[in-house]
Structure 1
Amino acid sequence: MKSKRGWRRLVVALIVVGAMCQVTFMHKDEVVAGAAAAQGKFNMSYLFSGAPSSYLSQVNKSGETLDVVSPSYFHINENGRLNVSDLEASFITEMHKQGKRVVPFLSNDFDRVIGEKAIDGRDALVKELVTSIQANKLDGVQLDIENVGAAYRDKYTDFVRKLREQLPSTMEVSVAVAANPTGETTNWIGLYDYKALAAVSDYLMVMTYDESYPGDPTPGPVASLPFVEKSIQYALSQAPAGKIVLGIPLYGRYWNQDPASNGAGIAAKSVQNLVDQYQGTVRYDAASQSPVATFTIQAADAKATVNGKALSEGTYTVWYENEQSLKAKLKLVGKYQLKGTGSWSLNQEAADTWSYYQLWTDGFYFTDMQKHWAQADVLSAANRGWMLGIAADQFAPDEALTRAEAATIIVRALGLENAGAASAEFKDVPATHWASQNIGIAQQNGLMQGISNDAFAPDHSMTREQMSVLLSRALKLTTPASGGAKKFTDVPAGSWSAEAIAAMSSRGLVDGFDGGTFRPLASLTRAQMAALLSRAQPLLTK
């Protein structure tokens, strides 16, 4: 929810345990859940709640999830010209160090008159925006003009076009557009010509929320799943999926006996606290795929505050978002192959939000990876198409990696899938085996051999020394790096794997255990393999 914004505005190391990392690839029954070639889906979020001095801590809570942060720096004054406020150079510098882009949003604060003035005076406003973006080392701008009538539709598109022409292509020009599940062409929702705007911008941030709004007399969801999905479908009828960003709400709305409070906004992180404090209840509405909280404040109860306002006595109904409802929305990103998500706004989300957000946005619904130490590594491997799950919602991170899986992983990582090799020639790998071709390719390229002339043992676990040898061959690491090889008490100099282990350890790709051991015969897990792939990725993709 956004104060002064009217309705419709909400968007939205690891310690690799001294063992060598492992990963598991596809079993014959493994689900290919949208094998991604790119590095994950795009994620952005707005910065509006809290003082600018808190922006850094807000962003840091999201970990590596965000690509773009959009702070509230740009506003339109009463004359339709640019007003810049709260801009902190140190925050911009730190975001760039973290590899995040800073793209402020330009807001008319839902004021129709100043929005019209801005569009009518777009030539001057474009010049001011370009000057401020470049002077402050920003990465572009998102236009967020709301509550201006459809009569300004063509002028608004021209505004965006002029701005796109004046800024370098390396700088973002994006547009926040109202959700339009019914294809509305009148009133202020008709301001947005999706097709024309998509043609002159980097993407459209579709504000798929505020289905219920401030002043709405009827309690209801902020963003029911049918509302969100219909909004996506309309957007896709007008613009390519790669230019559609799904708006995700991190807030809710509440109703009580006071009409003045109808649809008032509340941060998602506050709802459970209120339910606990006043011994309320939560139910999940199946039709809308939204949680609904109910609690009663008695006259003698201590009064909680929301957005600085003390809650009066009475019974409250709160429609909001939780893990279940957000995951249902995030699934739509993969279903429709959208560019990614935007969220309104940071500092309103529940504490556990970022533990699953990116995992689910990218279409990998691995419930057993949530909060797992290798989550980031598994997501990276899955996004590259190197590793997938054993089911749509299971990755099995702690299962041992098999030799068949290892062959499949390395063939994929090296881009050898289309090498045209015949099926593997081992008695225990028939042509019908799920990994037969990959095992054949690995054998043909000198990466893996059988345990004997006619046996490959596809279901045997991959050991740490076997993976060291396999990866050293794949990476063409024939000798240790100068002065970097570690000596392990359980890896004799004459061992068949000693040279490979030395070559890998000297480059920081594998490590040992306390006491100077390597445990060469220990099995690798799927999670450990994913982590190893993350370490080796710069060499694998050269």
Structure 2
Amino acid sequence: MNLMQAANRRWRKFVVVLAAAGILTIAASSEPHDAEAQASSAQGKFNMSYMYFGSPSSYTSQVDKSGQTLDVVAPSYFQINADGGLQLSDTLQASFISDMHQRGKRVVPFLSNDFDSVLGGKAIDNREALSDQIVKVIKDYNLDGIQLDIENVDAAYRDKYTDLVRLLRNKLGSDKEVSVAVAANPTGTKTGWIGLYDYKALAAVSDYLMVMAYDESYPGDPTPGPVAGLPFVEKSIQYALSQASGDKIVLGIPFYGRYWNQNAAANGSGVSAQTISKLIDTYGGTVRFDTASQSPVATFTIRPTDAVTSINGKKLEPGDYTVWFENEQSLKGKLKLVSKYNLKGTGSWSLNQETADTWNYYDLWADGFYFTDVQNHWAKDAVLAVANRGWMLGTAADLFAPDAALTRAEAATIIVRALGLQSSAAGSGSFKDVPATHWAYQDIQIAKQSGLLQGISDDRFAPDQIMTREQMSMLLSRALKLTSPSGGTAAKRFSDVPADSWSAEAIAAMSSNGLVDGFANGTFRPGASLTRAEMAVLLNRAQPLLTK
């Protein structure tokens, strides 16, 4: 393998210890093309998804398709029985919980009344006993908390429902999640079942509110329309923020659409994004993008002689179909709202309904990085991780240039950011080819003062010259104060790095610490250029050492 061809994907959302301690201060300067607007927090946004469809035996593979995007998965383990008590689903499997914990993900089942108002009311009235039952199961199965998803219960239960959440918060330890799925409320109503949710009071006794900003159109709706038009979603966010802070709000994202058949009574039935793509292909459908709602709309016709398709066991009858759904363009529009309003993150309904390409861009856009050239790149996770830490920014608002060679100026800026270095009071002179107006002037001076980077001569730095693999090995070994181990733990030796080479010791130290690799033929290629993607991966590998 070459220097950094395999990203350490486990560091996706590692909390930066130095930043939390106030030691790491990100420099204000940016890389070229005014990319400082791309800076973000040290951590990525929170993302969770519900699990409802598919066999439990497929749950782990469903999650794995999402890569490192999800922090929490919420399977439908908790239901309500006829007396308002807890009923466990037979889909609960201890092996899945263990699988998720090994992947660093939390398992937080959701409690559902399946939109049954009678069951929902009984559960709320039975809240003392129900909360005890839930707490016991969470402890017995090593679950990570609970999300309440009780819907279609009248606003008369508003205070009692808040009390159920309060009971659970008090009975569960602070290490367990208590969250609440709340209906979207773009008009701020306090009546009907939408009025069940006292956003302000619920936010005070829970970790977050998962705003179900979808079902603008609903099952049985006679008029075709969007599942989650952008104005509907944005108004729902604005109301939520009038009641609770952004760090308590998780935006619900739909992975499904709804279909209508003008010749039958199939009005507003749900259909997964995966299935919609197949329907359009099978029946030669057409798609337009509705600008008012920022939603795609498909139309197709099923003739009596066409192939039969069933959705959730229900055969699609012949007729003219209209389908409102979500695609990459509409989902990106919603994900941008997370950064716009500085929300905690996203929740999606539901896993295994999305199209495979969803995870190519989902976490990038949720975190506020619109790098179109990274979506399918092998180093995407590493790029996102270092961007979230503010260590590497984009070269433009929507570009990262992952395969471009890293320059000496970029290297200086990146290492100064990662180490949180500041300029000393006493200057050490500037380089003729780095005037005070140069975008990296300050960081190059700091790197020189810190003894990390020197010029190619006394008065020249060559800021646009590319960084080589051996130069970066030297730079990082200095920054991390690495030494090559002696005795039995010998460093890797490369055929093209002579023992007396100026970079041999640094390469050996980096290799011994698992930060760099050579090629299959035993070479290191010390003079080869280093790409921006490779630098991101290298920083990600070095992150535990940088944050000691």
Q: Please indicate the TM-score interval, normalised by the length of the shorter structure.
A: over 0.9
| Distance of aligned partners of 1:531 and 1:271 in 2 relative to their CA distance in 1, 3 Å threshold | same
Q: Which residue of 2 aligns with 1:17?
A: 5
Q: Which residue of 2 aligns with 1:280?
A: 285
Specify every segment of 5 or more residues in structure 1 that has no aligned partner in the other structure, as ranges: 1-12, 20-24
Q: Which residue of 2 aligns with 1:463?
A: 468
Give a deviation string over 1:323-374, Cα, whole Å, max 9, x none. Answer: 1111111111111111110000111111211111111111111000011010
The 8 Å contact of residues 404 and 458 in structure 1, kept in 2 or not, is answered as yes
Q: Which residue of 2 aligns with 1:237?
A: 242
The 8 Å contact of residues 480 and 499 in structure 1, kept in 2 or not, is answered as no
Aligned equivalents of 1:530, 1:421: Cα separation in 2: 32
The 8 Å contact of residues 404 and 532 in structure 2, kept in 1 or not, is answered as yes
Q: What letter matches 1:213 in structure 2?
A: Y
- Give the aligned length: 525
The 8 Å contact of residues 33 and 363 in structure 1, kept in 2 or not, is answered as no
Displacement of 1:424: 6.0
Q: Which residue of 1 aligns with 2:77?
A: 73
| Distance of aligned partners of 1:448 and 1:288 in 2 relative to their CA distance in 1, 3 Å threshold | same
Q: What letter matches 1:378 in structure 2?
A: V
Aligned equivalents of 2:425, 2:380: Cα separation in 1: 33
| 2:24 matches 1:33 | no
Note the aligned Cα RMSD (angstroms): 1.8
| Distance of aligned partners of 1:15 and 1:464 in 2 relative to their CA distance in 1, 3 Å threshold | closer
Aligned equivalents of 1:129, 1:481: Cα separation in 2: 55
Q: What letter matches 2:542 in structure 1?
A: A
| 2:312 matches 1:311 | no
Q: Secondary structure at the match of 1:356?
A: helix
Q: Which residue of 1 aligns with 2:502?
A: 496
| 2:255 matches 1:267 | no
Q: Secondary structure at the match of 1:263?
A: strand
Aligned equivalents of 1:355, 1:51: Cα separation in 2: 24
The 8 Å contact of residues 31 and 393 in structure 2, kept in 1 or not, is answered as no
Q: Which residue of 1 aligns with 2:543?
A: 537
Displacement of 1:36: 2.1
Q: What letter matches 2:79 in structure 1?
A: H
Q: Which residue of 2 aligns with 1:443?
A: 448
| 2:196 matches 1:191 | yes
Q: Which residue of 2 aligns with 1:139?
A: 144
Match of 1:521 among 506, 509, 527: 527
Displacement of 1:409: 0.5
Give a deviation string over 1:135-179, Cα, whole Å, max 9, x none. Answer: 111000001111111111111111111110000000000000001
Match of 2:229 among 218, 224, 236: 224
Match of 1:102 among 77, 82, 107: 107
The 8 Å contact of residues 509 and 532 in structure 1, kept in 2 or not, is answered as yes
Q: Which residue of 2 aligns with 1:354?
A: 359
Give a deviation string over 1:405-451, Cα, whole Å, max 9, x none. Answer: 00111011111147667586111111111111111111111111111
Displacement of 1:508: 1.5
Q: Which residue of 1 aligns with 2:303?
A: 298
Displacement of 1:29: 1.8
Note the 1:202-213 alignment, pairs <5 A.
Answer: 202-213=207-218
Aligned equivalents of 2:2, 2:274: Cα separation in 1: 26
Aligned equivalents of 2:151, 2:211: Cα separation in 1: 12
Aligned equivalents of 1:14, 1:319: Cα separation in 2: 46
Displacement of 1:484: 3.2
94-103 or 302-311: bigger deviation: 302-311
The 8 Å contact of residues 403 and 459 in structure 1, kept in 2 or not, is answered as yes
Aligned equivalents of 1:421, 1:261: Cα separation in 2: 76
TM-score (norm 2): 0.93
Aligned equivalents of 1:377, 1:271: Cα separation in 2: 32
The 8 Å contact of residues 31 and 413 in structure 2, kept in 1 or not, is answered as no
| 2:39 matches 1:51 | no
Aligned equivalents of 1:361, 1:311: Cα separation in 2: 35
Aligned equivalents of 1:308, 1:351: Cα separation in 2: 23
Q: Secondary structure at the match of 1:134?
A: helix
Q: Which residue of 2 aligns with 1:341?
A: 346
Q: What letter matches 1:502 in structure 2?
A: A
Displacement of 1:259: 5.2
Aligned equivalents of 1:368, 1:417: Cα separation in 2: 32
The 8 Å contact of residues 424 and 430 in structure 1, kept in 2 or not, is answered as no
The 8 Å contact of residues 217 and 259 in structure 1, kept in 2 or not, is answered as no
| Distance of aligned partners of 1:384 and 1:154 in 2 relative to their CA distance in 1, 3 Å threshold | same
TM-score (norm 1): 0.94
| Distance of aligned partners of 1:235 and 1:423 in 2 relative to their CA distance in 1, 3 Å threshold | farther
| 2:538 matches 1:509 | no
The 8 Å contact of residues 3 and 518 in structure 2, kept in 1 or not, is answered as no
Aligned equivalents of 1:191, 1:356: Cα separation in 2: 35
Give a deviation string over 1:185-217, Cα, whole Å, max 9, x none. Answer: 111111111111111000000000000000101
Displacement of 1:14: 11
Aligned equivalents of 2:218, 2:76: Cα separation in 1: 21
The 8 Å contact of residues 484 and 507 in structure 1, kept in 2 or not, is answered as no
The 8 Å contact of residues 264 and 317 in structure 2, kept in 1 or not, is answered as no
Q: What letter matches 1:112 in structure 2?
A: S
| Distance of aligned partners of 1:300 and 1:246 in 2 relative to their CA distance in 1, 3 Å threshold | same
Q: What letter matches 2:35 in structure 1?
A: V
The 8 Å contact of residues 288 and 297 in structure 2, kept in 1 or not, is answered as yes
Give a deviation string over 1:236-255, Cα, whole Å, max 9, x none. Answer: 11111111100000000000
Q: Which residue of 2 aligns with 1:3?
A: none
Aligned equivalents of 1:18, 1:187: Cα separation in 2: 53
Displacement of 1:32: 2.2
Q: Secondary structure at the match of 1:33?
A: helix
Q: Which residue of 1 aligns with 2:20?
A: none
| Distance of aligned partners of 1:73 and 1:438 in 2 relative to their CA distance in 1, 3 Å threshold | same
| 2:186 matches 1:176 | no
Displacement of 1:18: 8.7
The 8 Å contact of residues 400 and 523 in structure 1, kept in 2 or not, is answered as yes
Aligned equivalents of 2:511, 2:30: Cα separation in 1: 28
| Distance of aligned partners of 1:419 and 1:58 in 2 relative to their CA distance in 1, 3 Å threshold | farther
Q: Secondary structure at the match of 1:38?
A: coil
Q: Secondary structure at the match of 1:83?
A: strand
Q: What letter matches 2:86 in structure 1?
A: L
Q: How much identity, in percent, do the aligned residues show?
A: 72
